[in-house]
Amino acid sequence: MDGDLQFITYDTRPTFPCAAGLTNAQCYNISVGQLHNDIWEYDVDCFRFDDYGCMSDGWRRIDPGAYIGGCRIESGEYICTHPNERYDHVATVFDDGVLFVYGGFSRWCQDFCSDMWTFDIVACKDRGVCTWNRLGELGRMGPADRWRAATVAEGNRLFMFGGHRLWHGFARGNTRGNLWESTEAYPAGGYLDDMWIYEHSLNATDPGEWFQVLPQESCYDTPGRLWEERFDITCTIIWPEKRASAAISLADGGLYLFGGYTSYFPYPDADSAGAGSGVARATADLAAGQPYGPSVHYLGDFHFYNFTTGLWDTVVVHSDVSPPERRGHVLVTAPDTLLLVAGYRSNYFQNDLWQFNRTTRRWLRIDAFPHALYPDLCTSDSIPLSDGTDFILSSSVFGQPTRGFPVDGSAGRATDHVFIKQPRRQAPGWDGCRDRNDFRPDMPEELQVLQYSEPIHRFGHQGFFSSKYELLLLYGGVAYTQEHPDTPSKSFDFEAVDDMWQFSLNRCIKNCSNHGTCQFGRCFCEEGYYGSDCSNVTCPGDFCFYDQYTHQQVCKHCCHAVTPEAEHHVAGHVYNERKVACNHEHPGASHGICNGFGKCQCRPPFIGEDCSIRDCPDQCNGNGYCSAEYPVGRCVCDPGFGGLSCNERKCDNRTAHLAFLYAFSSQDFV
């Protein structure tokens, strides 16, 4: 069922008679949006090409729905053919092909619904029997009415945690004298933390059975220092706090629960009907600086429920980063991982994609996708030559080997930043079209940060993971009309959307340029290549490896290391120094950048194919040439010059002899 359009149709009762020709329904309703009760299916087995969506088939409507649930009055009772239009309800398909619907928000229910319905999809498609079956209402002994519960199904069981409802609803019969904390007349309300399991019945008319999962104590020995305390035991209950719009997923013999939203107060304001003394207490506590219950906030906590022990526990995360707090997101189970997508937090719609490794207990944000949106200026402007090099016609792209290093002119360093012209190409991970945000003045703004084709920021969407095709499918929700930065102080235009996206675990940027393997949407490059798409050719002195936890590629370009015993400096040269390749044992130093074509671009005063040789001082003062000898270049001086930088003028033997004779003869003459 379509539960993604976040708009409500309100009832109103005018004091004037209906105009001629209008029905009561048309007269009494003011439509401000659309709710639906139709059924659609998407053929996951459709024909696809590469990582694109269905080339044919795709979405197909199974049932068109019915206005106001197709309800009519028979013998003084309402008889409905469909569930009334609603949103934020529970909907799942069990293994026998039966669609189950419960709860949600509907104007027919006055606020939140407690009805249960089933629809046999197999019977509809195979035999043409397309009818809804109402299983009844849930009373106080069951989950009762609610919306925005976190649910997931497996086999013929549905697992549900939390949600939200008002204590006394919107009805005008609720007076200010009502105690909304009391559960004598109504079930507990507000933000909920109850957990339920629904067992689906194979009998179409059987309503199935709900079972509540109650908190259990976890006990452990805590012997004290005193003899009489030697057998002490401490018991505690670990249970997620109340919330709505959380996300829950099945894996590892239990349930993973992430995020949601909670508040200390279930009513919009203190004047709401039915608030009563509970509001007075909450208002007084707020005035005194003591919020009633937990404060209003979005949640980013992470919990796991173990089916074997029947206990909740906090998931211990070993990564330094985790998804920010949110509600209205999607959490699905993929091979060895969980995938979390988008959501809403503090006046901002998210569009991030996170991966949780269930083995290493680490979160990783996925920020590179198969289809990069390269700027118009990110095109080739070179001609390949027969010797394998490129002749650059013209370029606005430059390598900057001095980026991040001082340019003070000392010790042979440059006095200003160095920019080296190089060809452009569509490849992330280099100075032409890379993921960067260093605001280089010589690059257009559109080249500063590389964008990708991905869903726009949204929440309230639906997600499904196909194990058969290893695809994450994402549909609908409430989304921005255009992309915006995270600016909590501003509100941007948004709308309900019906777009659909897919993320394949086996698709990467440019198919890793045929120089790597694709795993979970990330390229793992072969030796000799690097970058998000493995299109960059490594340079002499490169050291690249993949982090075992984040799977991020880490590269040090144009690097060299020396053995520890190389400490002997004589006349500007280093003796007993042996150059070795950079690795984990020898981190070394990098004195240049790789242009992605296999050539290093060195920063002054370093030269050589791997930028490991310190250039000769003062360019030998124009009185000789520099012999590039590791580790320090040596000036070979022209005749008549000497010194480390050929800055000393020398006399040859003949000149010295004549000078001596002249001096001697002059002295003898005198």
DSSP 486-513: --TT----EEEEEEEEEEETT--GGGGG
277 pLDDT band (50/70/90 cuts)? very low
Name the most confidently modeled range: 300-304, 560-564, 587-591: 300-304
Distance of CA 217 to the CA centre of its chain: 35
8 Å CB contact between 456 and 501: no
Phi, psi angle pair for 501, to nearest 5°: -130, 155
Q: What is the residue extent of each domain of the chain?
A: 1-137, 138-315, 372-449
Q: Residue 343 has what pLDDT?
A: 97
* Average pLDDT of the segment spanning 639-664: 70
Name the most confidently modeled range: 41-50, 240-249, 649-658: 240-249
Task: Determine the residue type at 119.
Answer: F
In DSSP terms, which residues pair with 390 in a beta bridge? 384
Whether residue 3 is predicted with pLDDT greater than 90 in this model: the reply is no
Q: Residue 266 has what pLDDT?
A: 53
As a whole number, the mean pLDDT across the chain is 81
DSSP 68-92: GGG-EEETTEEE-SSPPSBBS-EEE
* Average pLDDT of the segment spanning 585-600: 90
Structure token digits, residue 138: 């849930």
Q: Residue 452 has what pLDDT?
A: 87
- List pLDDT tens digits, range 434-466: 666 556 666 666 556 778 899 999 999 999 999
Q: Residue 424 has what pLDDT?
A: 72
Structure token digits, residue 529: 């290549």
Q: Residue 595 has what pLDDT?
A: 86
What is the CB neighbour count within 10 angstroms for residue 203? 8
* Higher per-residue confidence, 198 vs 13: 198
Task: Report how far residue 555's alpha carbon sits from residue 544's, in angstroms, rounded to the nearest whole number.
Answer: 4
Q: Residue 64 has what pLDDT?
A: 93
Task: Report how far residue 346's alpha carbon sits from residue 324's, in angstroms, rounded to the nearest whole number.
Answer: 11
3-class DSSP state for residue 592?
A: strand
Q: Residue 200 has what pLDDT?
A: 94
DSSP 168-233: S-S-TT--TT-BTT--SSS---EEEEEEEEEE--SSTT---EEEEEPP--EEEE---SSGGGTT-E
* Average pLDDT of the segment spanning 476-497: 89
In percent, how much of the chain has pLDDT > 70?
77
* Average pLDDT of the segment spanning 479-507: 89
* Average pLDDT of the segment spanning 484-510: 88
Task: Report how far residue 246's alpha carbon sits from residue 185's, in angstroms, rounded to the nearest whole number.
Answer: 28
Q: Residue 23 has what pLDDT?
A: 61
Which has the closest alpha carbon to 69: 79, 60, 54, 77? 79
- List pLDDT tens digits, range 119-157: 999 999 999 999 999 998 887 778 989 999 999 999 999
3-class DSSP state for residue 21?
A: coil
Which has the closest alpha carbon to 102: 93, 91, 94, 110? 91
- List pLDDT tens digits, range 334-344: 999 999 999 99
Q: Is 301 exposed, middle or buried (0-12, 13-18, 19+ CB in 10 A)?
A: middle
Q: Residue 421 has what pLDDT?
A: 82
665 pLDDT band (50/70/90 cuts)? low
Q: Residue 312 has what pLDDT?
A: 96
Q: Residue 278 has what pLDDT?
A: 46
Least confident of 90-104, 262-276, 493-507: 262-276
* Higher per-residue confidence, 280 vs 356: 356
Q: Residue 4 has what pLDDT?
A: 35
Phi, psi angle pair for 46, to nearest 5°: -70, 170
Q: Residue 597 has what pLDDT?
A: 87
Whether residue 105 is predicted with pLDDT greater than 70 in this model: the reply is yes
Name the one residue in this structure whose structure tokens are 């979390």. Answer: 340
Q: Which letter does DSSP use for residue 653 in this model?
A: H
In DSSP terms, which residues pair with 637 in a beta bridge? 624
Q: Residue 203 has what pLDDT?
A: 81
* Average pLDDT of the segment spanning 377-395: 69
Q: Residue 394 has what pLDDT?
A: 63
Name the one residue in this structure whose structure tokens are 């792209």. Answer: 397
Q: Residue 609 has what pLDDT?
A: 93
Task: Report how far residue 482's alpha carbon sits from residue 451's, in angstroms, rounded to the nearest whole number.
Answer: 14
* Higher per-residue confidence, 230 vs 479: 479
165: left (phi over 0), alpha (psi -120 to 50) or beta: beta
Q: Residue 274 has what pLDDT?
A: 45
Q: Residue 223 has what pLDDT?
A: 80
Q: Residue 54 has what pLDDT?
A: 82
Distance of CA 565 to the CA centre of its chain: 47
Widest distance between CA atoms in the chain: 151
Q: Residue 253 has what pLDDT?
A: 96
3-class DSSP state for residue 590?
A: strand
Task: Report how far residue 397's alpha carbon sits from residue 420's, in angstroms, rounded to the nearest whole number.
Answer: 8
Task: Report how far residue 347's alpha carbon sits from residue 487's, in angstroms, rounded to the nearest whole number.
Answer: 8
Which has the closest alpha carbon to 260: 274, 249, 270, 247? 247
* Average pLDDT of the segment spanning 17-46: 70
Q: Which letter does DSSP use for residue 243 in this model?
A: B
In percent, how much of the chain has pLDDT > 90?
47
8 Å CB contact between 200 and 211: no
CA distances from 606 to 539, 561, 574, 589 (A): 15, 14, 15, 12
- List pLDDT tens digits, range 550-577: 888 899 999 998 875 544 444 444 555 6
Q: Residue 604 has what pLDDT?
A: 92
DSSP 278-309: HHHHHHHHHHTT--SSSPSEEEEEEEEEETTT
Least confident of 287-296, 306-315, 597-606: 287-296
3-class DSSP state for residue 68?
A: helix
26 pLDDT band (50/70/90 cuts)? low
Q: Residue 259 has what pLDDT?
A: 97
* Average pLDDT of the segment spanning 462-485: 92
- List pLDDT tens digits, range 196-205: 999 998 887 7
